[in-house]
Amino acid sequence: MSQPGQGSSGSTTSSSRERTSSSNDPLSTDQGRISVAQGVVTKIAGVSCREINGVHAMGTSGGRAVGALRERIPGSSGPSVSQGVAVEVGETQAAIDLDIVVEYGVSIADLGKSVQRNVKQAVERMTGLEVTEINVNVDDVYLPDESQETPSRVS
């Protein structure tokens, strides 16, 4: 009697299981494996988050301050698209944390759901990774400068 994993029937079962699981994994092909770097997921998440109306900026107050200093350096490309984004990437899954600043008057709950939906769709479509969670942390509310306010309606 052969033990599990030994003999021709054990190896046939094992390799057929591997073929079955790799056919369900968009990052495994007959030609090899596709891996996606953490930085790639970070950039995609940052760009797709900023696409949503109501997201004024990204990052914690300290991160935004550093980004503002970086913008003032001649030749700099402006704020980093990865500012305010933290990701964990495994072989087939990703988890994403986003720190955002919302514009005053926007429904935070609705905005958060829109951000989650857009980021999830973009990351999954572009990378083939399954996004297991997206945590949206609202760090601040953007208030327009007083100099940019509309004139008073009361005389």
pTM for the predicted model, two decimal places: 0.71
Look at residue 2 in the predicted model and tell me its pLDDT.
45
Residue 56, domain member (yes or no): yes
Q: Is residue 126 part of a domain?
A: yes
Whichever domain contains 138, its CATH number is: 3.30.70.1350
- Map residue 150 onto helix, strand or coil: coil
Q: How many domains does the chain have?
A: 1
Q: Is residue 87 part of a domain?
A: yes
Assess whether pLDDT exceeds 70 at residue 99: yes
Helix, coil or strand: residue 104: coil
Residue 49 in this model has a pLDDT that exceeds 90: yes
Is residue 18 assigned to a domain? Answer: no
Q: Tell me, yes or no, whether 155 lies in a domain.
A: no
Any domain includes 150: no
Residue 8 domain-assigned? no
Q: Which residue segment(s) compose the domain that 116 sits in?
A: 35-143
CA distance 114 to 112: 5
- Cβ proximity of 38 and 87 under 8 Å: yes
Is residue 108 situated within a structural domain?
yes
Give one DSSP letter per residue of 59-102, joined into a string. S-HHHHHHHHHHHTSTT--SS-TTTTEEEEE-SSEEEEEEEEEE
Tens-digit pLDDT profile for residues 140-154: 999 988 445 555 455
